[in-house]
């Protein structure tokens, strides 16, 4: 495990450390971080967004409907190639 030394700097009325960009990228840290206090020190962790994307949500809904026995589940995708989107309206 690599150990780095970071300088504590003033940030407004507070103090903080600047984390190097490669470190932030490696751990996929974007806008927010979780801080966990431990007896041996603090642990910084990325905050994960566990929400599903729109596509993942749609797939999960179809899967749930199929499991419930909905015979029409998944037919929404069949309308994508019906050519109606190219009609003049």
pTM, entire model: 0.47
Residue 70 β-bridge partners: none
Q: Where are the alpha helices (DSSP H) in 1-89?
A: 21-26, 54-67
How confident is the model over 68-75, as a mean pLDDT?
73
Least confident span in 32-36, 58-62, 63-67, 76-80: 76-80
Confidence at 76, pLDDT banded by 50, 70, 90? low
CB 73 within 8 A of CB 65: yes
Residue 15 has pLDDT above 90, yes or no: yes
């Amino acid at each position: 495990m690599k150990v780095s030394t970071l300088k504590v700097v003033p940030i407004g009325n507070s103090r903080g450390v600047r984390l190097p960009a490669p470190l932030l990228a490696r751990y996929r840290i974007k806008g927010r971080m979780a801080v966990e206090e431990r007896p041996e020190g603090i642990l910084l962790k990325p905050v994960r967004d566990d929400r599903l994307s729109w596509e993942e949500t749609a797939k999960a809904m179809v899967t749930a409907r199929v499991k419930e026995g909905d015979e029409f589940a998944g037919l929404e995708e069949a309308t994508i190639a019906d050519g109606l989107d190219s009609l003049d309206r």
